[in-house]
Amino acid sequence: MKNKIINFLDLGNQPLANSYIKNKNINKKERKYRLIICFNKRNKLVSIKNTFSSKDMFDDQYPYRSSTSKTMSFHLKKLARDIKKLRPEKILEIGSNDGCFIKNFDKKKTIGVEPCSNVERITNKKGYNTYSEYWSPKLAKKILKKHKKVNLIFSSNTISHIENLDEVFKAINIILDEKGIFIIEDPSLLECLKKNTYDQFYNEHIYVFSYLSLNKALKKHNLEIFKIEELKIHGGSNRYFIKKIKNNIKLHKSIKFHKNKEEKYGLKNLKTYVDFAKRVKNSKKKLLSIFRNCKKNNKKIVGYGATAKSVTVLNYCNINNSMIDYFIDTTLDKQNKYTPGTKIPIKGYSDLINDKVDYVFLGAWNFKKEIFNKEKKYLKNGGKFIVHTPYPKIISK
């Protein structure tokens, strides 16, 4: 097939999403890359074009902590409860972060893999068995020297961050028991296109998977998806239940349902992506006009949740520290730093409640429900939020 990989969206020059700037480095040149999104007509994968190595992105300074949101903690706690009913002997988690998921299990039952050593240390210190290494066949073999094959592998928001999917699935085949189950959660491409959440694309999100593309990538390694659950988390994700093909678990009806849904929306066709790109360009224009109007009227705007996702939006739309006074974020490792590229100061939570703020740009839009619940008083007192998804708008009480 000629020209099988087609670029369909250019989100401009971007810094690395989680590289928050320390005060002493504020005038230093940042590392940047061109954020171009492409569609592979042959295997249906949607990915970013210019990638960084895992070592460049996931090091000992990684700021993100899964446990910072109650929604995420509850979501993983609920899944852990369901998994316990399956009575797995051992659970392996790839990308265990600060232990948000494994902490729900008996320490002897889990193995965590988390390459960012600053984050891995949090669980390791508590007595969890964790490896501060990148997921690979070599690591799978190393784990097998100490443990038996596992019957359950879980990975949330991690597989989409690893460029070499063949190595990922080779490693799964090494350590997954013949009757074992591999569960992946990652943002859904279908929901991303429907909600115009183009900020699901940044250097760490190398892929945004559809069932169609992920299943193709798995089948090359004799693995297949046998059930899909649609999740609200992170603006719409899918939970894929995967097995070895020779394991004769029946395919669940959700497979046919989801496959049809993706095909009907046009996830196999380039035109769907070209149309999405047009909507993204319009979204930029609308968001900028909201910000410009607010500033024309001397309104004070702050940001809420200095997310990796918001780095894409702010840099693509050229929204910088002349428009947003500061961000608030509960993550200690982000506070007293600046947002990548746009250099907006990040402060602790109390500043919002102590300050007179007219508009809040919702960087953590995926936790809108949790945040709106927390900020009832701000909304009640006439405070307004600016969101960019599903289209740019102002939300008031």
- Return the number of the residue (192 or 364) whose C-beta is nearest ligand DWN: 364
Which of 102, 208, 287, 308 binds ligand DWN (CB under 6 A)? It is 308
Question: Residue 186 Cβ, how far from ligand DWN at the closest point, in Å?
Answer: 8
- Return the number of the residue (80 or 100) whose C-beta is nearest ligand DWN: 100
Which of 90, 243, 309, 337 binds ligand DWN (CB under 6 A)? It is 309
- CA neighbor of 393 nearest in space, from 368, 373, 357: 368
Question: Residue 393 Cβ, how far from ligand DWN at the closest point, in Å?
Answer: 19
**With CB under 6 A as the contact rule, which of the stretches 22-30, 107-115, 290-298, 367-375 interacts with ligand DWN?**
367-375
- Return the number of the residue (113 or 371) whose C-beta is nearest ligand DWN: 371
- CA neighbor of 363 nearest in space, from 304, 319, 323: 304
* Contact indicator for 321, 345 with CB cutoff of 8 Å: yes
Which of 204, 291, 303, 316 binds ligand DWN (CB under 6 A)? It is 204
Which of 100, 323, 364, 387 binds ligand DWN (CB under 6 A)? It is 364
Contacts of 356 (CB under 8 A, 6+ apart): 300
Which of 129, 331, 335, 342 binds ligand DWN (CB under 6 A)? It is 331
Question: Residue 257 Cβ, how far from ligand DWN at the closest point, in Å?
Answer: 26
Gap between the Cα atoms of 22 and 188, Å rounded: 33
- CA neighbor of 242 nearest in space, from 255, 225, 228, 217: 225
Residue 88 CB coordination number (10 Å)? 20
* Contact indicator for 153, 184 with CB cutoff of 8 Å: no
Which of 58, 64, 135, 182 binds ligand DWN (CB under 6 A)? It is 64
Q: Determine if 157 is a binding residue for ligand DWN (CB under 6 A).
A: yes
DSSP code for 249: P
**With CB under 6 A as the contact rule, which of the stretches 2-10, 260-268, 271-279, 369-377 interacts with ligand DWN?**
369-377
Give the tokens for residue 91.
């659970």
Count of residues touching ligand DWN (by CB under 6 A): 21
* Contact indicator for 212, 220 with CB cutoff of 8 Å: no
Q: Determine if 366 is a binding residue for ligand DWN (CB under 6 A).
A: yes
- CA neighbor of 338 nearest in space, from 330, 349, 347: 347
How much of the chain is helix, strand and coil, in % rounded to 5?
40, 25, 40
Q: Determine if 39 is a binding residue for ligand DWN (CB under 6 A).
A: no
* Contact indicator for 91, 144 with CB cutoff of 8 Å: no
Q: Determine if 93 is a binding residue for ligand DWN (CB under 6 A).
A: no
Q: Determine if 337 is a binding residue for ligand DWN (CB under 6 A).
A: no
Cα torsion 188, 190, 194, 195 to 10°: value is 10
Applying CB under 6 A, which residues contact ligand DWN?
Answer: 64, 68-69, 157, 204, 234, 305-309, 329-331, 334, 364, 366-367, 370-371, 374
